[in-house]
Amino acid sequence: MKKLLTGLFVFVFIASLSNAQDMDDLKKKVQATNDMFAEKMVAGDVDELWQHYANDVIAMPSYEPMVKGLDANKKSWEEMKQSGVKMTSFKSTVTDLMKYGDLVVDIGTYNITMSIPGMDQPWSDNGKYITLWEMQDDGSMKIKVETWNTDVNPWAEMEKMKEYEEQETDEEHMETKEDKDEK
């Protein structure tokens, strides 16, 4: 009985080490795929990326409606491209990874910079994302669901802008009053 328990313990220990190594390898694979995505997106070469999406993919971007299906997602990207928005840098970092059967949950953070028509300075953002990957029989992965959102609170930013505008108005009012007093 003692030998059986010892053998069972050794088996469980080795199996857990193997699982940890498998997850580490999977995390490296997901990060490498994310890095390739970032490189292609910055280069504006997204056509090659569509092979990594499931036909029934669902995207849930910040402040926009849900986009269902591969064709709808392609159209959404094309509309952004046609608007003149250009991604100038993009980096995502896997922070957590979970595997459930053939599904992999990729949780992480991102940093992005874009040039946007009409803006003097590039626009930068940082935030977080979740991507649900589905493992394929050939070992490749396809995105089933993705969502991302900014860490920037737009309402707080609007409040800062409002305070700045009020301060500017107060300063202009003070200058006008001083000008009148001088006359």
pLDDT exceeds cutoff 60 at 46: yes
Position 159 scores a pLDDT of 76
- Model confidence at 152, pLDDT cuts 50, 70, 90, reads confident
Position 30 scores a pLDDT of 97
- Model confidence at 162, pLDDT cuts 50, 70, 90, reads confident
Spatial separation of the C-alpha atoms in residues 15 and 28, rounded to whole Å:
20
Q: Where are the domains of the chain?
A: 2-170
Amino acid present at 25 = D
Position 132 scores a pLDDT of 98
**What is the token pair recorded at 157?**
């930013």
What is the pTM assigned to this prediction? 0.74
In contact, 149 and 127? CB cutoff 8 Å: yes
In contact, 97 and 30? CB cutoff 8 Å: yes
Nearest in space to 97 (alpha carbons), one of 75, 130, 142, 64: 130
Position 160 scores a pLDDT of 72
Q: Which CATH architecture has domain 2-170?
A: Roll (3.10)
Amino acid present at 73 = N
